[in-house]
Every structure is written in structure tokens, then in C-alpha cells.
Amino acid sequence: MAGADGVVGMAGAVRMVRLVGVVALAAMTAAQIATGLRPHDLRLTTVVVVLLAVSALAFAAAAYGPGRAAGAFAAAVTAGFAAEWAGTRTGLPFGDYRYTDALWPRPGGVPLVVALAWGGMGLAAHAVARRVAPRGRLIPILAGALALTAWDLFLDPQMLRLGLWVWAEPGPYRGVPLGNFAGWLLVSLLVMTLIDRLTGRTDGGRAGATGLVVLYTVMAAMETVGFAVVFRPPDPLVAAAGGLAMGTFALLAWGRAWRR
């Protein structure tokens, strides 16, 4: 009976953690809508990222266990922070850019919310990749890196609009140099490798991992709608590029789920 009670208690704890993920996701969605209505309120941008991180961490804890989830999230945040710290000082791997004074706190010159974004969306992109390619090592890591880099097709143009960072030499994609995306892919490969090892290479079939796929899908949908019709002025190019890239990975992940 004691063993059965323990199993029941564990199941209840998992459901509770998953509920935290759902609530944080709903709150993030509301905050994301608010950013479309009040695009220059940078406090909302920070709120969106924090809620993204909380939702992702909660869903990951339900899928992989609290210890593995925390370790994977911390590793992704650390890798993202280190890459941004190096990038602002050396121009590698993203290119020559700098952060403005808009986001705080900025330990080492890198806004903390930027590092949190690497962790939150890193977990979501990894779950998508493991749903798309449940077996093997290299293919899921590459798929996850591409899924995470797809998000930057939205992220960089939006953050440039808000004046959160500037490029020394603007590039052809709404001011973003193309080399930035090569840098994103490189760092994303590292982030996916760390998450894959620390989560135990699960195939993403658990309910918590499904929550991470939902998180990725919601972000893809809301960014697409935002750039297409909400932001002023709208940007059909970014809506199409980011929507197609992120949407493809989301659809592949859900198609795999429906075939189970």
C-alpha cells in the first residue's frame, strides 16, 4: 500500500507541475497579446520571457523529472549567456552587435531575460525535435537546432523594432545580418546537445513534453499573427518567413503525435 500511495502521490505531483506549466503558458499568451497592443512597454517583454521560462521549466519537470529539467534548463541558460557575452565582446558567433540600456538586469552586459529565453525556447525546440525524430543522436540535435534558429526569424526583427540591440552593420533581413543565423545555429547545436544529454534522450511522448510542443506552437502562431496583422506597421515578410519555418516544425511534431 505504501508503494501504491507513493505512485499516486508522484502522479499528483506531476499533474500539479503540469498545471503550473499550463497556467504560465496562458499568462504568457495574455502578456504576448498585450505586447502587440502596447509594443513599446518593455516591461511586458520581460514578463513574456519570464513566463515562457516558467512554463517550459514546469512542462520539462513533468516530462523528465525536476532534477533533469532543472539541469537542462540551467545548461541552456548558461550556454546562451556565454554565447551572448562572447558575442558582444568579440563579434563571434553572431556578428558585431551590442545591447542597449533598455533591458535590466544586465550582468556582464547581457540582459538576463535573453539567457532565460535561450533556456525556455531551447527546451521547447528540443521537445519538438524529439517528437519529430525520436531515435538517434545527431538528427534530433540538428532538428532541434534548426527549430530554435527558426524562432530567431521572428525574434531579431522584433527586438530591433523595440531598440533592444543594434548591429554595427545592418543586414538584408530587416536589418539583421545573415551571419547572425549561422551563429544562432551553432549555439543552438550546443544547447540541443546539452539538453539532449541531460534529459536522457526521451522520445518526447510524455504529457509534459507535449506541453513543450504546445508552447513552441503557441509561440509560432502568435508571432506570425503579430507580424501579419497586429504590429504597426505589419511585416508580411517576417510573418511568412518565421511562420513557415516554425510552423513546419510544429506541424511535423503534431503529425508524429497523431500517428502514435
pLDDT on residue 5: 45
What are the residue ranges spanned by the domains of the chain? Answer: 2-258
| Other Cβ atoms closer than 10 A to 135 | 9
Render pLDDT for 150-195 as a digit per residue (tens, 0 to 9): 999 999 999 999 999 999 999 999 999 999 999 999 999 999 999 9
Cell reading at 83: 554565447
Q: What percent of the chain has pLDDT over 70?
A: 93
Query: Distance between terminal CA atoms of the chain?
Result: 33
Rg (CA), the chain: 18
Helices (H), 91-203: 112-132, 138-161, 179-198
CA nearest to 100, candidates 90, 114, 86:
114
Spatial separation of the C-alpha atoms in residues 153 and 51, rounded to whole Å: 21
260 membership: H or E segment, kind and range: none
pLDDT on residue 259: 60
pLDDT on residue 99: 97
pLDDT on residue 125: 98
pLDDT on residue 208: 81
Q: Are 200 and 64 in contact (CB under 8 A)?
A: yes
When pLDDT is cut at 50, 70 and 90, the band that residue 2 belongs to is: very low
When pLDDT is cut at 50, 70 and 90, the band that residue 258 belongs to is: low
Cell reading at 164: 533592444
**Average pLDDT of 46-74?**
97
Spatial separation of the C-alpha atoms in residues 204 and 160, rounded to whole Å: 34
DSSP letters, 93-119, are TT-SEEE-SSSS--GGGS-HHHHHHHH
